[in-house]
Amino acid sequence: MRRRVPCLVGVTAVAAFVALARTGTDAQAPAPAPALENRANDFNAFTVQGAVTALIGPGGNASTQGNITVQVSDDATVLVDSGRGDANDRAIAAIRRVSNRPVRFIINTQAGRDHTGGNEALAKSGRPYGGRASGAGFLIADQGAGATIIAHENVLARLGGAKGGAPAPFGMLPGETYFTPEHELFNGEAIQLFHTPAAITDGDSLVFFRRSDVISTGDVFTTQSYPRIDLAAGGSINGEIAALNRILDLAIPRATQEGGTYIIPGHGRVSDEADVVEYRDMLVIIRDRVQDLLKKGQTLAQIQATKPSFDYDRRYAVAGYTGEQFVSLIVDSLKASAATPAVRSAR
């Protein structure tokens, strides 16, 4: 059963719903809010725009599963990310509620296990791509009977253990990688992958569905918390801000185009350009405060004592990832950037 749950969509859609509820007429109301399933303890399919649906994990907008994007053509289904891997049957059932077309590609936005854990099972639920070239990357034919997993080459290096850590099972590894700033494939519409270096990690991809006008961001953007930048995996605060600016370069606001660009975050609710602007501005403000204090020669303890993230902690601080921890991360990242000019100058 489907029912409308407008609290999970953008502010404008919520306002439209409220207006509709108050007036009891749709004479002045914009298009209805996208439909959202409401299944407890399950992935819920949220119809975003065009050919794109978001699967929001159990727990809704607070889910600890990475969001899964489902894009459908007449021929095939393309996924962005595959969840944590501990609820694969429910993820596959949700994908099949959206489309009966075989999963042909799974794009990984990064190597984190909350986005790649379901790679093997979800790939096996699909079929490999055949007959048409997918782009300029390297295609490894020996993928068994499953879908092809695509990611930036740094994701393969991390999952495969080449950058330290235990290697993931072979079936979880991307079979096709790219190393250029952009990569493209096609499934009823152009799908562009943009590598955003040194953001959350060194292997993040933004995925832009051009005709549908939807961007899947992975963890570069989340509505749940401060960005979980992984410095050890090549992430940085300045690269994270640059990646958010890249999203804003691609996105068109609602005012100038019907619907505008929808943004599917790595975690949390489906958003629009204004939400990303707010998130980017928040990070710039906190980063600048920390940077000014660093330039004055203050220590981490002194900087934390001024609470540079205080006005945002109520919104973004969570258990296990507090404002203090985030400020500490920014300090470490800025110190590393100062020692590595290439990172500092990254767009």
Residues that bind Zn ion in the complex, under the rule CB under 5 A: 66, 112, 114, 219, 266
Minimum separation from the CB atom of position 278 to Zn ion (A): 20
Minimum separation from the CB atom of position 208 to Zn ion (A): 19
Compare residues 66 and 118 and give the one whose CB is closer to Zn ion: 66
Compare residues 66 and 128 and give the one whose CB is closer to Zn ion: 66
Minimum separation from the CB atom of position 236 to Zn ion (A): 17
The Cα 308–Cα 285 span in angstroms is 9
Compare residues 65 and 143 and give the one whose CB is closer to Zn ion: 65
φ/ψ of 232, rounded to 5, equals -65, -25
Minimum separation from the CB atom of position 112 to Zn ion (A): 5
Minimum separation from the CB atom of position 200 to Zn ion (A): 8
Compare residues 67 and 212 and give the one whose CB is closer to Zn ion: 67
For residue 24, how many other CB atoms are within 10 A of its CB? 7
Using CA atoms in the order 83, 86, 90, 95, what is the torsion angle rounded to 10 degrees? 30
Compare residues 267 and 289 and give the one whose CB is closer to Zn ion: 267
- Per DSSP bridges, beta strands 68-72 and 77-80 are antiparallel
The Cα 243–Cα 77 span in angstroms is 26
Minimum separation from the CB atom of position 135 to Zn ion (A): 25
Minimum separation from the CB atom of position 36 to Zn ion (A): 21
- Those residues whose C-beta lies under 8 Å from the C-beta of residue 104, and which sit 6 or more positions away, are 75, 76, 77, 78, 126, 127, 128, 129, 147, 148, 187
The Cα 252–Cα 274 span in angstroms is 10
- Tokens 């059932």, residue? 93
Compare residues 112 and 197 and give the one whose CB is closer to Zn ion: 112
Helix axes 323-339, 237-250, angle to 10 degrees: 100
Closest CA to 91 of 56, 136, 124: 56
Compare residues 198 and 200 and give the one whose CB is closer to Zn ion: 200
The Cα 69–Cα 52 span in angstroms is 7
